Amino acid sequence: MRVLVTGHDGYIGTVLVPMLQSRGHQVVGVDNMLFRGCRFGPGKSHADVELALDIRDLTTGHLGGVDAVIHLAGMSNDPAGDLNPDATHEVNHRATTRLAEMAKQAGVRRFAFSSSCSVYGAHGSEPLDESATFLPVTPYGESKVQAERDLMALTDDRFSPTYLRNATAYGVSERLRGDLVVNNLTGFAVATQQVFLKSDGSSWRPLVHIEDIARAFCAIIEADRTLVHNEAFNIGATAENYLIRDVAEIVADVVGCPVTLSDTAFNDIRNYKVNCDKFETTFPADRPQWTVRRGVEALRDAMVAQGLTIEDLEGSRLMRVRHLRQGMEHGTISADLRLIGTPEPLL
């Protein structure tokens, strides 16, 4: 199968591409390369065909001969989304809709959309299945809701979108993100020998390893159409819902250091648990394999091997919103979040 992956050079994409290739697929990667310089370890992931292109500039011609689209590209979290809400909606919502329209016009039958459990927003401690009400509390979450609704309107016998509502991701990647809760807590523990909690830790969050996300995308595009046509799936494991303070305790135990609560700790209104039984029942062979504890152990080992420092963790290489702000200040990233100039080549 010829699969076009947007955001192939990102946090999840660099894990997904080799997995797709190992399953016999040819990968066409599309990425604006905003984060090409944000390396963590040696670069190993290469699509069969790579296009250094913003998804807003894709044309129908780029989709010729493509069997399936896996759409990862977008402003990737709530802080980055808050940086420029208009650009967030332009990229995450309107560009997604336009891409799907072009894919349908080009005869692409499968469209796997990387949505988010952020669409649920602020619900509380009752596990939510895919029928739960959308209550997004950020521009990022709102943009995912709007994109899902537009994709549903395009659905017909020739075009099958599927909505993968990913839990909060964690895990080692050559484009490691330090702004995700498990990665961040582990990074602080390794770099400072303390687990630093910025919130009061009382919020619930579903958590999922990026390899399990990647495996879910593979399963979706390979599945019988009747299983995935216009369907939403919470991606994660029902057992992997955690209070943030419990994640902090796991990290403290694995790394061997105390938990420290910030003097300005706040209550995070993003509070929800999700039920992932639908995916696990539909795709038992591709159900999640990782636990947070195993993920923290792997992160610790990789961070120690790379000699992670607090400057690395808090700098622009691992913190996406800081990378964007620095690029804007230096004139390499525009206000509407486009790369200015030639992207740094892969090594």
pLDDT value, residue 77: 61
Q: In the 8-state DSSP scheme, what is residue 133?
A: P
pLDDT value, residue 268: 66
Share of the chain above pLDDT 90, in %: 73
The end-to-end CA distance of the chain, in Å, is 27
Predicted confidence band of residue 347 (pLDDT cuts 50, 70, 90): very low
Share of the chain above pLDDT 70, in %: 94
Predicted confidence band of residue 80 (pLDDT cuts 50, 70, 90): low
pLDDT at residue 227 greater than cutoff 60: yes
d(CA 30, CA 307) in angstroms, rounded, equals 31
Are the beta carbons of 5 and 70 closer than 8 angstroms? yes
d(CA 104, CA 63) in angstroms, rounded, equals 9
Distances (CA, A) of 149 to 142, 143, 146, 220: 11, 10, 5, 19
255-310: pLDDT as tens digits:
999 998 876 666 666 678 999 999 999 999 999 999 999 999 999 999 999 999 99
d(CA 147, CA 111) in angstroms, rounded, equals 12
CATH fold, domain 2-330, is Rossmann fold (3.40.50)
d(CA 34, CA 57) in angstroms, rounded, equals 15
Beta-bridge partners for 127? 273
pLDDT value, residue 231: 98
Residues across the chain = 347
State the virtual CA torsion across 324, 325, 328, 333 in degrees, nearest 10.
0
DSSP 297-347: HHHHHHHHHTT--HHHHHSTTT-HHHHHHHHHHHTSB-TTS-B-SPPPPP-
Considering the chain, what is the average pLDDT of its residues?
92
303-345: pLDDT as tens digits:
999 999 999 999 988 998 888 888 889 998 988 888 887 665 5
Distances (CA, A) of 203 to 135, 270, 291: 16, 7, 19
Burial class (CB in 10 A: 0-12, 13-18, 19+), 26: middle
Predicted confidence band of residue 122 (pLDDT cuts 50, 70, 90): confident
C-alpha closest to that of 292 among 250, 335, 338: 250
Domain segments of the chain: what residues? 2-330
Classified as helix, coil or strand, 264 is strand
Are the beta carbons of 146 and 81 closer than 8 angstroms? no
Mean pLDDT of 242-255: 96
Amino acid at 264: T
d(CA 331, CA 340) in angstroms, rounded, equals 7
231-245: pLDDT as tens digits:
999 999 999 999 999
Mean pLDDT of 171-195: 96
> E-assigned strands of 241-315?
241-243, 259-266, 271-274
Q: Quick one: tokens of 319?
A: 């913190």
Q: Quick one: tokens of 306?
A: 């790379």
158-170: pLDDT as tens digits:
999 999 999 999 9
Amino acid at 79: P
